[in-house]
Amino acid sequence: MLIWVNSVLLYIYRDFLLSPFFWLGYLVFGLFGAFILGSGNPSFERGSRILAFVVLVVSYLVSLRYPGTLVFTAGFVGLFSGLGLRVMFWDTSQGKWAYCATCGRQMQITTNENGIFCSKGHVISTPKPKPAG
């Protein structure tokens, strides 16, 4: 999904792809998305969203005054790449995986009071009954 979203966004900005300022903006916004917005720290969430909005608005306002900087602002699509890379890294390194017999392969799992489920909702195991007494 990430590849399709980036492909569409990069197609929209195809006129900027040869500009080094576009790729600089793509890198800056990508790092911003990966390390600031995707940090996972709850106390950091609100501030990082506000900061992302401020950076985008300031970049846009600067590009209105100096039209040449619009190429840098177009690198905002890198934000989605950074967020996607952060999520993929977390899924593969921090996520829990188990074999799902219904799916026939290793799937990411979620656990709650009703048991362990694969990401498609199939039951992998049910909780053990608690002994009476």
For tokens 């190429």, the residue is 71
> Which pLDDT score is estimated for 133?
54
Could you state, in order of their start, the residue ranges of all structural domains in the chain? Answer: 2-93, 96-133
Mean pLDDT of the chain: 78
Assess whether pLDDT exceeds 80 at residue 31: yes
% of the chain with per-residue pLDDT over 70: 82
The predicted-structure confidence for 68-101, as pLDDT tens digits, reads as follows 777 877 788 888 888 888 877 777 776 788 888 8
Q: How much is the average pLDDT of 116-124?
A: 84
Pinpoint the alpha helices (H) of 1-133. Answer: 2-12, 20-31, 42-65, 70-74, 78-93
- Using DSSP, state whether 111 is helix, strand or coil: strand
